[in-house]
Structure 1
């Protein structure tokens, strides 16, 4: 049960209308988010915020928005979210043309997660900024959906010395403290091509890759068995392994020279991601050796650590009390570990449910947006005044 109280709405921006306005910006990850961030700047600067846009040198069309209210220095609270969305097309209900129906707002990004950003902006507008004794940060990032690229750039190039962080991914306003990591690798197998009528004259990259898949699947089963009986509220309660892409070959009458696998590992909190990658590489190399003449390149693509915020962290204890919801877990990845690497204590807590996101009819409840704004406003009062 949520114990969110509805505060007096002074200087409000209206999170529902603002969500509609933000959804109208087409910020699919491959598109620029600058126009949307420019609009947010125009809302924040009149409130007295110190606002800047941080772009990558090689991709100036993608920007992070970093805003501070209150004094300089360490501590305080960050409200964080990403500005990009997954793709959509005109055959869907969830496009960049939002629509209300009853108690729901439909549109791409309503749930994941422009609604949360609108609630954060509304909460910021409703605070008397002269009362801020610690800094309030707003951190709105680019390209979260394709690897948390904006958050990683922010932490590398302009980390902020914030103590507490709320990330507004859709959790039904339940405080989330734990989720698995996300590790990816590309395996490239190089063989020797020849006419398929005499296969022994060549070396099949696909045969080697197929044996590597079998070895990797077996390794995943070993990891699953090793987790048996340990108990966890993460679902499934073990480190998962998936070979999601298998490419190779040039023609059916040619022994294939090349093959490629895409590997994904989702490590449980507390496990060493690099060790897991080492185990995966070892079994893949051993399998590849069984096909004479084939070599393997193992390229690590991403190593994103799990989220594991202690439940006795101040931000978590406050969110549990404020929402009336126990700490929980989610099966998806967030920017939480990236901000944790910056020194912040992160907790994921936002309006809507993940089952409502990434759908052809993505939606969020209107009441959830209002409740989120009230929660974020109370968090600002708690940690910044």
Structure 2
């Protein structure tokens, strides 16, 4: 076995340093941060190993970067991909410092430990033990920006078309189970413009909350219709979903509400097109829009993320199932997989840790994940690159 490079951190040191670099992405400007610190760490480490480094400034988002590390020449090869950002956190709900690794009860606690800075620490350890003199096809490591919000990094990277690997593995926490299918995600704001007035004379104004009540009734009907007409048994939630996520309206009990907003998200099944869902939403609310001319509007909150599906019989899936010992599955959440798939490669989502720990206070990566993840990644890199 090759000796580890003394100039590079071991696994615990690497994950500790990555988590110590805050890289929150959020739609709220007060939370949103640059990921430059994480990118600089990863770039330095992989450059030390002999990788060629490309850093992309992601357009239209300030202080956000992608990093691509490449080792080897020729076409094809393996892409190991993940996002460098984390969600925000409520420090009062954490039992330890979210930005420091705390090792307790055979678990490494820290923000991003499983979702998903830990994946890069695993890749670094695996790469330190490889004999790159015999590499036959390129190995790529991709770290993207803003996966937790707009997926701007993955969108930009897919459009840049600078590589075309044979296969790609996105290391989101799946308990090392190969994920070959997930739902799409889109979010919209429904706005109602009413007419404020004194509550003692309801007819003198137009109550936006009352119109929104009608909107919600139509959304429930649309949800029921989707549930009846679309199912996929591969998912534990087998239908498309509509979630009423946030509502805001009015300012005082004695005023007719002049404005009301509802934020919703919709999650499509593979095979459903985003434009179909948007069309059904518009048609469902059209009678209300006609009843109250100029008072109802629908706008996109964030760019939509399409659903993802990889053929279960593909070589990558069969190989991942064999090496991991797990049968492939579908998940309800969205990832960068559909954008990475645009590179023209077979793509799966498979990484250490559980999605149940992601986006939660006291997020952790269990010690039991460490050895089996390093073994699996080593086998995959040898299979596709050597």
TM-score (norm 2): 0.91
Superposition map of 1:1-385 within 5 A: 8=1, 10-11=3-4, 14-29=10-25, 30-72=32-74, 74-91=75-92, 92=94, 93=96, 95-157=98-160, 159-227=162-230, 232-290=233-291, 292-301=292-301, 302-385=303-386
Structure 2 CA distance for partners of 1:58 and 1:266, relative to 1, 3 Å: closer
| d(CA) in 1 for partners of 2:197, 2:10 | 67
Unpaired runs of 5+ residues, structure 2, are 26-31
Structure 2 CA distance for partners of 1:17 and 1:55, relative to 1, 3 Å: same
Post-superposition shift, 1:268? 1.0
**Does the aligned pair in 1 maintain the 2:99–2:111 contact within 8 Å?**
yes
The DSSP-based 3-state class of the residue aligned with 2:12 is helix
**Does the aligned pair in 2 maintain the 1:177–1:311 contact within 8 Å?**
yes
**Does the aligned pair in 2 maintain the 1:170–1:353 contact within 8 Å?**
yes
| d(CA) in 1 for partners of 2:62, 2:188 | 28
The DSSP-based 3-state class of the residue aligned with 1:112 is coil
The DSSP-based 3-state class of the residue aligned with 1:61 is coil
TM-score (norm 1): 0.91
**Does the aligned pair in 1 maintain the 2:232–2:239 contact within 8 Å?**
no
**Does the aligned pair in 2 maintain the 1:83–1:114 contact within 8 Å?**
yes
Structure 2 CA distance for partners of 1:36 and 1:151, relative to 1, 3 Å: same
Structure 2 CA distance for partners of 1:294 and 1:205, relative to 1, 3 Å: farther
| d(CA) in 1 for partners of 2:85, 2:141 | 16
**Does the aligned pair in 1 maintain the 2:166–2:345 contact within 8 Å?**
yes
Unpaired runs of 5+ residues, structure 1, are 1-7
Q: Any idea what the Cα deviations from partners look like across 1:127-155, whole Å, max 9, x if unmatched?
A: 22232222211110112111322211222
The DSSP-based 3-state class of the residue aligned with 1:372 is helix
Post-superposition shift, 1:345? 1.8
The DSSP-based 3-state class of the residue aligned with 1:110 is coil
How many residues are aligned here? 374
| d(CA) in 1 for partners of 2:105, 2:296 | 56
Post-superposition shift, 1:293? 4.8
The DSSP-based 3-state class of the residue aligned with 2:356 is helix
The DSSP-based 3-state class of the residue aligned with 2:191 is strand
Q: Which has the higher contact order (CA 8 A, sep 6+)?
A: 1
Q: Any idea what the Cα deviations from partners look like across 1:6-64, whole Å, max 9, x if unmatched?
A: xx464365323311221121222222221121111111112211102211344452111
Partner of 1:5: none
| d(CA) in 2 for partners of 1:19, 1:32 | 18
Aligned residues: CA RMSD: 2.0
The DSSP-based 3-state class of the residue aligned with 2:187 is strand
| d(CA) in 1 for partners of 2:374, 2:115 | 15
Post-superposition shift, 1:156? 2.8
